[in-house]
Structure 1
Amino acid sequence: MKLSELHFYEYTPTFKHKIQTPKITMNVRKTLFIGLIDESGTEWFGECNAFETDWYHYETIETVKRTLESWFKCVEGHEIHDFSEAQRMADKLNDTPAARATVMMALYQMFHDLPSFEVPMTVTVNGDMQKRFLRIDHAERIKIKWNCDIVEQVKLLTAMYPDIPITTDANQTLSDRDIPLLNQLANYNLAYIEEPFPELLKEKELGNMPPIAIDEHATDEQAIVQAVQCNHVRVIVIKPFRVGGIDRALSLIDTLHNQGITVVIGGMYECGLSRYFTALASRYGDYAGDVTPCGYYFTDDIVEQSGQIIKGRLRFKPPVIDMSKLQRYL
């Protein structure tokens, strides 16, 4: 198999409810897609999880596009005999994991038959709890974005849903002043809190806080091992785009499970193609991953019915891109 062309596309769905995080408010999700075309004319798609700005990660839509333009000039027309060779080709992008993950999403489909499957559901609450209550009943994990009412929300949800694990994500925005608040949260059996501080704390500094999970710090196997050994982190949130793609994520899950580390698969306000791959990896996590049902964030999506709710679980089929919704990105 040879790669003959690389196309870039844009798709910008509108959020049903604006997304509010400690760092940004978003009304739309501008998304970059790529199409790798082989010598037979088949186009294989990848979805980029980077944002327009670097609020979450140093790679942005524009930097990924420029990186992949340069990468394709080096690999165009080269013969790819198997998936291992495709991985080595993608390894040229090791310094830009979001770009590698975008390419790997397309390359993975070239050499694997994608399955249909079901996964448990996570509900993410972004300060819009009243609007989400009706969707929580079937969840196997509830994730609350950090906000000023976090203690009251966790207290209420643990009372209403005592058997559903509840987690929160602070995106590294907390400081020493918030430690008393974290100690309060420990009273409500919070399963874990993702990345409360910009720096990881030593075990003696953790006190009575809920278990701490790393997300932003989980950039590769070396960083994860260091966090486990030096900071006694026992929960790792793996985002495929952060570690370089679906292949790297699956490999890391095996490695961490062999060390007795709890693994959760994270998502990134994804469209249907990327959400399929997040769900694919989340089948091997210890908690329900950051996988939402179709129509949860967007009215329209690039893949129809990707993650339908069937008896409280999410059903995924091999994704088919609706080309009519893509615009060429020049």
Structure 2
Amino acid sequence: MELTAVRLLPVTLQLKRPFRSAHETVQTRGITLVQVVDEMGHQGLGELESFDTPYYVAETQATSRAILTQTLIPALKGQSFTTPQAVQSFWTAVTGFQMAQAALETAIWDLWAQRQGQSLAACLAVELNCQPQAQISVGISLGASGTPQATVAQVTTAVQQGYRRIKLKVTQSADLARVQAVRQAFPKLQLLVDANSAFTTADLPFLQQLDQLDLALIEEPLPATDLVGKQWLQQRLHTPICLDESVATLADLETANALGAGQVLNLKLARVGGLGPALAMIRWAKQHHWPLWCGGMLEGGIGRATALALASLPVFQLPSDLAASAHYYQRDLLTTDFQLIGGRLTVPTGVGLGVHLTPRLQQRLTQQPNILV
């Protein structure tokens, strides 16, 4: 397989409501579509998931596009490869920029699956010698805003819609009242919180109060790089600490495990560099008995389809963080939406990603300059 064209198209999506985390409040979501074309004319699609700001990770949409156009894409010019995993060998000199790598690598996976005449989910399942699930259980992430009563109302709506797991963003100790109100209203609900590194070890009393609420996990309570702090904290909590921003590479996960700095991994393929690195982490997690769940990045339709293919693998212990298309955006990228039915999303079965851009976006993407020439 050899690429003959790579094109990028920045797109802005409008959220239905602001989404607040410890990092920032997002009202619009910038993503970049990536198109790769091979010598046979097949087209693969990927999605760049960096945010516009460097608060979640250091990468931004601007810096990711720069590394794509200046380094990652030129490295593939004239190169032939037989599997998607092989492209990583052309980027070994690149430090970081996992999201940029993931955007291009996942587009190549889509292309490769089309060449095999299979769905992306089926191709990933072959790598792990398993069968993909036709439908996956999903949960939902709710932003850190509103009164306890308003949060309970949001959760009530989500539960009625069929979501099987609820994640609440927390940014300050005052959010304890919101979490307590939800737990009181829903004593059996699979509930977890995500702090996005908002706290320090000095906030132990608050974190111990959360620990009493029978949560499935507490995600990233301390700064991402503070693995020693997470080790100290995990020894003082019964609730498992879940890692997200702390893990960009398999080496990060191995270090966290050696330290005892957590017990669960939120696996986001964009954060770790793509599907190949994600598969490597899945293999490691199985060997070392680390529970996994598939996280979301406020993706557009292409990113959501890719994440659904990964989430279809029967290796995740919690419902995935991939809500229905209609939950976040006024208008998505695709001709069809992902709809929630009985708390589940259906995994596309068509070749490759199994989804299609709207004709307008497809035309705009095709009109972009070929960076590979």
TM over 0.5: yes
Residues 142 and 173 from structure 1, CA distance in 2 versus in 1: closer, same or farther, beyond 3 angstroms?
same
Q: Distance in 2 between matches of 1:175 and 1:84?
A: 38
Change (3 A) 1:301 1:38: same
Quick check: 48-57 or 281-290, which moved more? 281-290
CA contact (8 A) 1:294 1:308 kept: yes
Task: Supply the distance in 2 between the matched residues of 1:93 and 1:266 (Cα, whole angstroms).
Answer: 25
Aligned counterparts of 2:11 and 2:183: Cα–Cα separation in 1: 37
Distance 1:152 1:262 in 2: 28
Distance 1:81 1:23, change over 3 A: closer
Q: Report the more deviating stretch, 265-274 or 194-203.
A: 194-203
CA contact (8 A) 2:42 2:111 kept: no
Indicate which of 333, 336, 341 corresponds to 1:302.
333
2:294 to 243, 265, 271: 265
Per the TM alignment, residue 176 of structure 1 is displaced from its structure 2 partner at its CA by 3.5
Q: How many residues in Structure 1 have an aligned counterpart in Structure 2?
A: 330
Distance 1:196 1:82, change over 3 A: closer
Alignment-mate amino acid for residue 321 of structure 1: L
| Correspondent of 1:171 among 162, 182, 196 | 196
Give the corresponding residue for 2:10. 10
Q: 2:319 aligns with which of 273, 283, 288?
A: 288
Query: Given the superposition, is the C-alpha separation of residues 159 and 102 from structure 1 closer, same or farther in structure 2, using an over 3 Å criterion?
Result: same
User: 1:51 deviation in Å?
Assistant: 1.2
- In the TM superposition, 1:1-330 aligns within 5 A as 1-70=1-70, 71-89=72-90, 91=92, 93=94, 95-112=96-113, 113-114=118-119, 115=121, 117-126=134-143, 127=145, 129=151, 130-137=153-160, 138-148=162-172, 149-198=174-223, 199-200=226-227, 201=229, 203-205=231-233, 206-208=235-237, 210-283=239-312, 284-317=315-348, 318-325=354-361, 327=364
Change (3 A) 1:167 1:60: same
Q: Matched residues in 1 for 2:357 and 2:93: separation? A: 27
Counterpart AA for 1:319: V
Please provide the CA RMSD for this pair: 2.3
Question: Which AA in structure 1 matches 2:288?
Answer: Q
Task: Tell me: CA distance 1:225–1:82, structure 2 relative to 1, closer, same or farther (3 Å).
Answer: closer
Cα distance 1:202–1:72, how it changes in 2: closer, same or farther (>3 A)?
Answer: closer
CA distance, structure 2, for counterparts of residue 101 and residue 282 of structure 1: 16
Deviation at 1:211? 2.0
The answer to whether the 8 Å contact 1:253/1:285 transfers is no
User: Judging changes above 3 Å, is the alpha-carbon distance between structure 1 residues 147 and 86 closer, same or farther for their aligned structure 2 residues?
Assistant: closer
TM-aligned CA deviation for residue 203 of structure 1: 4.4
Look up the equivalent residue of 1:16 and give its one-letter code. K
Code of the aligned partner of 2:32: L
| Matches of 2:41 and 2:244, distance apart in 1 | 38
Per the alignment, in what secondary structure is the counterpart of residue 36 of structure 2?
Answer: strand
CA distance in 2, matches of 1:232, 1:303: 39
Deviations 1:50-109 (A, max 9, x none): 012212111111111121112222322322333343443465656321111001111111
Cα 1:8–1:322 change in 2 (3 A) is: same
| Compared CA separation, residues 204 and 93, structure 1 to 2 (3 A) | closer
| Range that drifts further, 81-90 or 291-300 | 81-90
Letter in structure 2 aligned against 1:171: N
- Residue 298 of structure 2 aligns to a residue whose secondary structure is coil
TM superposition shift of 1:161: 3.1
User: What amino acid sits opposite 1:325 in the alignment?
Assistant: L
Q: Which amino acid aligns with 2:345?
A: L
Q: Is the 8 A contact 1:3 1:39 kept in 2?
A: yes
Q: Residue 203 and residue 307 in structure 1: after superposition, are their counterparts in 2 closer, same or farther (change >3 A)?
A: same
Q: What is the percentage of aligned positions where both structures have the same residue? A: 22
8 Å contact kept, 1:145–1:169: yes
Identify if the C-alpha distance between structure 1 residues 88 and 110 changes in structure 2 by more than 3 Å, giving closer, same or farther: farther
Q: Deviations over 1:235-271 (max 9, x none)?
A: 1112111111012112211211221111122111111
Give, in angstroms, the shift of residue 146 of structure 1. Answer: 0.6
In structure 2, C-alpha distance between the alignment counterparts of 1:34 and 1:281, rounded to whole Å: 19
Counterpart secondary structure, 1:18: strand
Cα distance in 1, alignment partners of residues 10 and 59 from structure 2:
17
SS in 2 for 1:31: strand
Q: Secondary structure at the match of 1:23?
A: coil
**Which 10-residue stretch deviates more, 261-270 or 320-329?**
320-329
Structure 1 gap segments, 5+ residues each: none
Deviates more, 1:155-164 or 1:60-69: 155-164
The separation in 1 between residues aligned to 2:96 and 2:23, in whole angstroms, is 25
